[in-house]
Structure 1
């Protein structure tokens, strides 16, 4: 499984990275990285066909635990998945902005 630290992720995000947030909708609504699509773990299989096959899919959660698991599962299915180390909490701790509001789903 591939991982990216927050600085690498920030650079990729600035260049239009595809990002899914695997927290439940309430966690996502409380604060998420701009552009991240809400894809709770329970819905991961349902959106597999909607994920790009020509570029990495960055996977983020609150701290990096769920995203690591999800990225590993996606990788076994052939998705170029990258877990974001530190997650949304780490993103916020570094002073980077969060967006609050309703979930925008990948599917």
Structure 2
């Protein structure tokens, strides 16, 4: 699994947010798609394996778990977003709520 800082996530990236729905509803990185970790295995088909897969959570722990799952069980290359949504917000990057 690769890791990048929030500043290294390209515009229009396939960004998967694995936090729960209430966390996502409060605020999330602009353009992030919600696939909660609690539903992740059943919804993994919603990820486009032909695009880079950036995974984000609150601070980086759950996204690392999701990346590990995708790499070990699906053979996908993944990119964990270090610091997660907290770092995204702190960096002043676009947010939605």
Give the superposition deviation at 1:97. 2.5
Aligned counterpart, 2:44: 48
Aligned counterpart, 2:93: 96
Give the superposition deviation at 1:25. 0.4
Please identify which structure carries the higher strand content: 2
Aligned counterpart, 1:72: 68
Give the superposition deviation at 1:78. 1.4
Give the superposition deviation at 1:40. 0.6
Report the TM-score when normalising by structure 1: 0.84
Aligned counterpart, 2:7: 7
Structure 2 unaligned blocks of 5 or more = none
Report the TM-score when normalising by structure 2: 0.92
Partner of 1:44, secondary structure, is: helix
C-alpha RMSD over aligned residues: 1.1
